[in-house]
């Protein structure tokens, strides 16, 4: 009798979906001081879990459950079962726990299998870097900042007519590949975490879907129901839906107010709690990935050192009629690295990373900028990666830092012990005026060469869009750069640029 080939698997973080119901009668009857203590200890506990102060790494989030099945969901991902076990008991020590009962729970572990990439398991350490990094992101996922969550357990059918485990490996792989193609149509709208639970809980997998629009999740699941992988072979448990809110709004939640609240709605005393790490990675392990968050935009980036002189520079540029971008980048954050590697080799590596980045709805753009006409012979190639969140940019910086022959990262103060800074000035050039722009750059480069404190200036162009240009200048000091900004030559260049650029230029310090 032949035994079917099981796929190889690799496991990552353990996942606990902890569903809690609130004893509302007890809550209403409790003295005000007991409710206040429960709120304070609940906020402290949940904020600390989301900041991951209890483990070396991981993720946590808090949700309001919709419907009768529970009231709250605490979602935790941690490296070990010991971590999961401890944080469960730590909650029971809070005053908030006295007003809750566990309505349900689900234990699983993040997982990737040979269905996803057999090469990864066969090649081991020699596997493609891009594939390896993508799989790592599945084993140690970042919880998206989406509003809506849908969780359900599922198993593969073992019935007399359709038995998943009796199918040959290649046939199972084809089913799952076709199934996955449906999900690609929802990239950027729905994000998933798949965790295995064979031997850990009642079903074989736990599926957690995230999206800002619940109807996107509904449409995805509805479409997948018609795919044979589901229609023939899937069996589902019950579905639970929830909405995310920050821990510091726990008192608003318990008061029956709308959550999550925006800033204009936050009147409760805990509205200023800093325990929520999303949008602020300062105390979170993911903020230590070796990269730095750089504010940016489709055309620029800015590294904020917390120095008030940054605002002074920005104000002075505004007075000169020069747009300097927003202080933290226009709702996106940039990572900019420079590499001395062969541009073709570098582009191939970046393309692999970008394919993986595109699985995240926080990814805006990743591109390679090559030295263009008029650049110095020693000009490096730049890699620019734009993200919607500071935290996602930090995580991406860790992957990008492994690119070949990286010589420096914009904003990395440790790259040099002197005081020079780097400016990034991004331009989108009208196609009919690209040659004019390059010629003008050559004229300006001649002026720069004679300026005090100027080290080098390079013109770089997006490898995939030659009209997307990036100028990188290096100076002995910030004041040397400002001297150029104040010059007549620069003013004339700005006036000229308004006629040939598709969008206004952004003159942004990358340090």
| Rounded Cα distance, 198 and 248, in Å | 35
The two tokens of residue 79 are: 């490296």
Cβ atoms of residues 152 and 236 within 8 Å = yes
Going from the C-alpha of 170 to that of each of 120, 173, 177, the distances in angstroms are 16, 5, 10
Phi-psi region of 207 (alpha: psi -120 to 50; beta: other; left: phi over 0): beta
The DSSP line for 334-388 is EEEEEE-S-HHHHHHHHHHHHHHHTTSTTEEEEEEEEE-TT--TTPPEEEEEEES
Residue tagged 């997982």 (tokens): 111
Beta bridge partners of 153: 206
Cβ atoms of residues 484 and 396 within 8 Å = no
360 catalytically annotated: no
The DSSP line for 201-244 is SSSSEEEEEEESSHHHHHHHHHHHHTSHHHHTTEEE---EEEEE
Q: Which of 106, 115, 120, 152 is catalytic?
A: 152
Q: Which helix (H) or strand (E) holds 311?
A: helix 308-319
| Rounded Cα distance, 121 and 130, in Å | 14
Residues 6+ apart with CB under 8 A from 432: none
Phi, psi (rounded to 5 degrees) for 34: -70, -40
Q: What does DSSP assign to residue 147?
A: S
By annotation, the residues acting in catalysis are: 152
């Amino acid at each position: 009798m032949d035994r079917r080939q099981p796929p190889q698997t690799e496991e990552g973080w353990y996942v606990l979906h902890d569903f809690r119901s609130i004893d509302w009668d007890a809550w209403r009857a409790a003295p005000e001081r007991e409710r206040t203590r429960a709120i304070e200890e609940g906020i402290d506990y949940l904020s600390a879990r989301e900041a991951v102060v209890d483990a070396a790494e991981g993720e946590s989030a808090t949700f309001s459950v919709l419907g009768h099945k529970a009231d709250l969901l605490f979602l935790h991902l941690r490296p070990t079962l010991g971590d999961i076990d401890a944080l469960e008991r730590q909650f029971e020590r809070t005053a908030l726990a006295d007003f809750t009962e566990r309505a349900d729970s689900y234990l699983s572990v993040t997982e990737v299998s040979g269905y996803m990439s057999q090469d990864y398991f066969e090649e081991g350490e020699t596997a493609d870097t891009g594939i390896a990094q993508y799989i790592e992101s599945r084993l140690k996922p970042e919880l998206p900042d989406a509003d809506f969550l849908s969780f359900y357990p599922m198993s593969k059918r073992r019935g007399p007519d359709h038995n998943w485990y009796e199918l040959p490996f290649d046939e199972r792989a084809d089913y799952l590949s076709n199934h996955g193609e449906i999900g690609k149509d929802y990239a950027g709208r729905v994000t998933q975490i798949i965790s295995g639970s064979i031997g850990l809980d009642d079903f074989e997998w736990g599926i957690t879907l995230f999206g800002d629009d619940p109807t996107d999740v509904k449409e995805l699941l509805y479409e997948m129901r018609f795919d044979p992988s589901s229609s023939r072979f899937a069996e589902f448990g019950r579905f639970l839906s929830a909405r995310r809110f920050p821990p510091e709004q726990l008192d608003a939640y318990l008061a029956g107010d709308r959550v999550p609240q925006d800033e204009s709605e936050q009147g409760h005393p805990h509205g200023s709690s800093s325990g929520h790490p999303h949008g602020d990675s300062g105390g979170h392990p993911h903020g230590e990935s070796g990269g730095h968050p750089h504010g940016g935009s489709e055309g620029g980036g800015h590294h904020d050192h917390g120095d008030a002189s940054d605002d002074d520079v920005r104000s002075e540029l505004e007075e000169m009629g020069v747009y300097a971008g927003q202080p933290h980048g226009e709702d996106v954050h940039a990572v900019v690295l420079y590499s001395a590697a062969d541009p073709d080799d570098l582009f191939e590596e970046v393309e692999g990373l970008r394919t993986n980045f595109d699985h995240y709805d926080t990814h805006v753009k990743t591109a390679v900028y090559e030295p263009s006409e008029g650049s110095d012979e020693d000009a490096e190639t730049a890699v620019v990666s734009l993200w919607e969140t500071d935290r996602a940019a930090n995580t991406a910086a860790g992957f990008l830092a492994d690119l070949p022959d990286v010589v420096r990262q914009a904003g990395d103060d440790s790259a040099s012990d002197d005081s020079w800074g780097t400016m990034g000035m991004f331009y989108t050039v009208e196609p009919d005026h690209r040659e004019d722009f390059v010629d003008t750059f050559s004229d300006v480069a001649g002026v720069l060469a004679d300026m005090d404190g100027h080290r080098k200036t390079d013109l770089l162009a997006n490898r995939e869009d030659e009209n997307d240009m990036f100028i990188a200048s290096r100076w002995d000091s910030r004041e040397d750069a400002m001297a150029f900004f104040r010059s007549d030559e620069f003013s004339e260049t700005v006036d000229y640029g308004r006629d040939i650029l598709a969008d206004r230029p952004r003159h942004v310090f990358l340090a």
